């Protein structure tokens, strides 16, 4: 399992398709928002949590098709399906590799970029924590979508259409956690629900994605 994780991390960092592209897109979205909505600091502070979460979500989408597609193209996916390793574990490791190269860097940089959006100081730690808890769900759900569309030529658009509705609860609870924290309101309920979504995804998605891969390999 760890060898598979190291392999996927090396491929992602070597190609730059996950790490560099996602960070660049995240930065572009956050930098452009003030130009679009104007310099009003009150407006920027109010929308900052939602903007950061939407930017992180869209950045994660950019590299989802790479989770299984490269292995499909070079035949590695067939070998992994026949290996002694459980396919559910393979899915979990690939989702973890995607999160480490995409979700985690976005989580770390989000509070810093929040300064550009006048993110309230009280919300900064909670935008970090909400992304830390919520972005694994984005990678897991993305792995499920990638498993459904593996082998489909130019399936990136279809993959995005499949996973976007699944991302909505994570987006709502994540943005609401940081927004309520910034306003001094109770944020425990949305934060707990956000954690629940991630735990549910971690429990179910590896099995669902593995079943989808088996069907596509027949």
Average pLDDT, the chain: 87
pLDDT band at 110 (very low <50, low <70, confident <90, very high): very high
**Of 169, 181, 175, residue with least CA distance to 121:** 181
Q: Supply the pLDDT for residue 16.
A: 53
Q: Supply the pLDDT for residue 20.
A: 77
Mean pLDDT, range 2-20, rounded to an integer: 68
Give tens-digit pLDDT for 115-166: 989 998 889 999 999 999 999 999 999 999 988 888 777 667 788 888 999 9
**Could you give the number of structural domains in the chain?**
1
Q: Count the alpha carbons within 13 Å of 140 in the hemisphere toward its beta carbon.
A: 21
What does the DSSP assignment read for 14-61? HH-TTHHHHHHHHHHHHHHHHHHH-S-HHHHHHHHHHHHHHHHHHHHH
Q: Supply the pLDDT for residue 152.
A: 76
What whole-number percentage of the chain has pLDDT above 70? 93
Name the DSSP letter for residue 122.
T
Q: Is pLDDT of 17 > 60?
A: no
**Of 176, 211, 214, 181, residue with least CA distance to 194:** 176
Give tens-digit pLDDT for 60-107: 988 887 788 777 777 777 777 777 778 888 899 899 989 998 999 999
Cα gap 131→102, rounded to integer Å: 12
Q: Residues 54-93, buried b or exposed e (16+ Cβ, 10 A)?
A: bbbbbbbbbbbbbbbbbbbeeeebeebbeeeeebbebbbb
Domain that holds residue 144: 2-217
């Amino acid at each position: 399992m760890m060898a598979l994780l190291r392999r996927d991390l090396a491929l992602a960092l070597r190609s730059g398709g996950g790490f560099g592209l996602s960070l660049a897109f995240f930065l572009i979205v956050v930098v452009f928002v003030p130009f679009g909505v104007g310099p009003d600091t009150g407006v920027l502070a109010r929308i900052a949590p939602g903007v950061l979460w939407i930017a992180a979500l869209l950045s994660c989408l950019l590299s989802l098709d790479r989770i299984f597609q490269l292995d499909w193209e070079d035949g590695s996916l067939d070998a992994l399906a026949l290996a002694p390793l459980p396919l559910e574990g393979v899915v979990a490791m690939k989702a973890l590799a995607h999160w480490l190269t995409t979700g985690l860097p976005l989580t770390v940089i989000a509070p810093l970029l929040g300064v550009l959006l006048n993110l309230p100081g009280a919300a900064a730690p909670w935008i970090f924590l909400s992304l830390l808890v919520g972005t694994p769900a984005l990678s897991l759900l993305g792995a499920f979508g990638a498993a459904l569309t593996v082998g489909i030529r130019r399936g990136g658009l279809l993959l995005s259409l499949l996973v976007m509705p699944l991302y909505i609860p994570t987006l709502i609870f994540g943005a609401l956690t940081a927004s309520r924290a910034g306003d001094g309101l109770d944020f425990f309920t949305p934060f707990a629900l956000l954690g629940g979504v991630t735990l549910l995804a971690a429990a179910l998605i590896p099995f669902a994605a593995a079943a989808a891969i088996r069907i596509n390999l027949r």
